[in-house]
Structure formats: structure tokens, C-alpha cells
Copies of this chain bind each other. A is one copy, B any other.
Amino acid sequence: MSSTDLHMVVPAGGSGTRLWPLSRAANPKFLHALTGTDRSLLQATFDRLAPLCTPERLLVVTGTAHATSVIRQLPELPERNILVEPFARDSCAAIALAAAVIERRSPGAVMASFAADHLITNTPAFAETVRHAVEGAAEGRLMTIGITPTRPETGYGYLQLSKPAEAGTVQTVLEFKEKPSHEVATRYVESGHYLWNASMFLWRTDVFLAELAARRPDVHDPIRRIAAAWDGDEQEAVLAQEWPTIPKVAVEYAVMEPAAAEGKVGTVPGDFGWHDIGDFETLGELLGKEIEGGARVVHVTPDTPPVVVIDGDGVLAVPCGPRVIATLGVADLIVVDTADAVLVCHRDRAQDIKKLTEILRERGHAAHV
């Protein structure tokens, strides 16, 4: 494999409702500087991937609502490498569109797809793992990178291996497992046969598209017609005709799970400080700085507005505006202040924040979600 054959894809979608009101439908978490630097998660993903392939071979797939922000945040990215979906059709459509466009531009290329909103702290180890996975992909396997689990997490899916995970080697994935109970997750982690599914996929575009054609022609055929028209005069017309017909389905469900059952899916275990900043607990653990009163603060903007906490063990404050946040005699709370919403949430209830956003929508306040 020469490096010129490797293309990178970043699906940039999803609103991150468990991070409301910081993350919004109109301003999702991948656009925020949740990285400990002034770079957004999307920009940090770009910084990590571009050196592995050059910006000319890096594609971002995003929605109409975020295209402008993506374009502004990534000035180095060629315009033709931003694929804008008319509206979301789940991960299979997004990834298949990228695969079909790449296949047209560079037949038989290897593509690697990574989420826009994950944080990775050990970039050299990540690059090394990608190299191993690219080798497996070049040989014709549908590859994934599985994350070595560090705790019995119930918020992720798992990859089941035939033998204990071994770093730097391509191993066969027996099965994709849904999010488990705590008991099951504990068994998974203790066995050493399971990795976290972080939706990192690597494959030859011709191999993936052949699998998709066989299993899901309802996704494959319109995507191929769209890709054939891409970059041409008919792009918009074909997109308008074909896109609405594509069913909403996750790529795991449409392709990877059935392919794994046939022994076609490989993985390379990864251990490079991977974090899905999916909720405020994780955000606080990763980026929180201790302040007085037993509290922590996460600064997600260049401003550092005053935060004053008196007797606030376990308080996590996330100021996103110029306002003072002051707490007095409250413990184990998450307080998030944004331009148009204030959230006060018990830490034990951080997983239920989505409910609040649903209620706001029901009551006609979708603009705040």
C-alpha cells in the first residue's frame, strides 16, 4: 500500500443531546472546542487524520445545517471534499456516499472512517493502529478498530473476538454486540475477548460497495447513481430524486453485522487514549479543572467567566457565555450556562438530559434544542 491510496472519511453528524444545552441540533458537539485546546473536536479530528492521507484525500460528510460551520472550521479542506447530505439518512447512507464518491475518484482505494466527535490523546499510537488496520483492509477485509475497554461501560456496543485481543494484529470479529447490561459488560471486560465498537471502519471501497450491493441494494443503488452524478451538472437533480428514497439504517446493522457472521470482518485492537465525549460526566473527567469548594469547571470558550462555588462538593460548572455562575450549598450538580439556556442537573441524572430536550420540542421550543 502506498499512502496515496488511503482516503479518510469523517461523518460529522449527530447533535449530542446528552450534552444539551452545550451541544445543540444547530451547534452540535463536534463544532465545540471540547479538546482542552482552542480546536474543536472536528478540527482535532482533521489534525489527527490529515497527516495520514493529505487534505486532498480527506472527506467530510455532513448535513446542510452544519456545512457552513464545517467549511469555516476546516479552511484547508478542498471544497469538493465536503459532501453535504440534504438531510440525515443514518450512518450507512453517509458512509456509502463517501465510499462511492471515493471509488469513482480512485477506484480500489482504501477508505478509513472516523467519527468527528471523538477525542484521542495518543496520536502516534493511533496512527500505528491505523497502519495495521489499513493492511487488513488492503487484503480485502472489512476492518474496524476496536478500543481496548478500560471499564465495564454500558453506553457502547462491543466487538466479540475469537481469542483474547492482541495489540498490533488483525483479528477476526465474531459478532457485533449491542450495548450490554452492567453485569454482561463486566463479563465481557474480564474475558479479554471483547473490544468497544467506536465506529471506526476501514475497507477497500470496491469491497465495501460489493457487500452493500449484495445486502442492501435499496441503499447501494441510489448511492451509486448519486455518486455517478457527483461533481457534475446533474448532481443536485439526482440527489433530489434519489436521496429521499434511501432507508435510514446504521452501517453496523446493514453491512458489518451480517458480514461478521460470514467471517469477513477483522479488527485491530486499539489503545490510544480514546474518548467519546458523550455526556457531562466524561467532559468533566477529561477537561474539568478543580476550583474551590470541591467543584470542577470546564471552560469550552476562550472566555473564562467567573465561577464562584461555596460548599459545592462534586459540582461541575460549564460556563459557555460571559455570565457569572455562582453556586451555594449544592452538591453533585451539573450547571451549564449557554446563550439561551441554563441547565441544572443532578449528576446521577446526566443520562436523562435527552428527556428535557424532548419536552422542550413538545412545547414548541425547538429553537432551544
By a beta-carbon cutoff of 8 Å, the part of chain A in contact with chain B is: 21, 306, 308, 310-311, 322-330, 333, 335, 337-346, 348-349, 352-353, 355-356, 359-360, 363, 365, 368
**13 further A-B pairs in the complex, CB-CB below 8 A; given A306-B368, A344-B344:** A21-B324, A308-B359, A310-B349, A323-B342, A324-B360, A325-B344, A326-B360, A327-B343, A328-B352, A329-B348, A330-B344, A333-B344, A342-B342
Whether B322 pairs with A340 at a CB distance below 8 angstroms is yes
Whether B360 pairs with A310 at a CB distance below 8 angstroms is no
- Which residue in chain B gives the minimum CB-CB distance to A311? B349
CA distance A365 to B338 in the complex (A): 20
Chain B nearest CB, measured from A317 CB (Å): 9
Whether A356 pairs with B323 at a CB distance below 8 angstroms is no
CB within 8 Å for A327 and B352 given contacts A306-B363, A359-B310, A365-B306: no
CA distance A129 to B325 in the complex (A): 44
List chain B residues, Cβ under 8 A from A352.
310, 328-329
CA distance A338 to B337 in the complex (A): 11
Chain B nearest CB, measured from A253 CB (Å): 31
- Which residue in chain B gives the minimum CB-CB distance to A319? B342
List chain B residues, Cβ under 8 A from A359.
308, 310
Copies of this chain: 2
Whether A346 pairs with B326 at a CB distance below 8 angstroms is no
CA distance A329 to B107 in the complex (A): 54
- Which residue in chain B gives the minimum CB-CB distance to A324? B341
Whether A356 pairs with B328 at a CB distance below 8 angstroms is yes
What are 9 A-B pairs with beta-carbon distances under 8 A? A21-B326, A324-B341, A324-B342, A324-B360, A327-B344, A328-B346, A330-B330, A330-B333, A330-B346
- Which residue in chain B gives the minimum CB-CB distance to A334? B328
Whether B356 pairs with A308 at a CB distance below 8 angstroms is yes
Picked from B341, B345, B360, B365, the residue with its CB within 8 Å of the CB of A329 is: B345
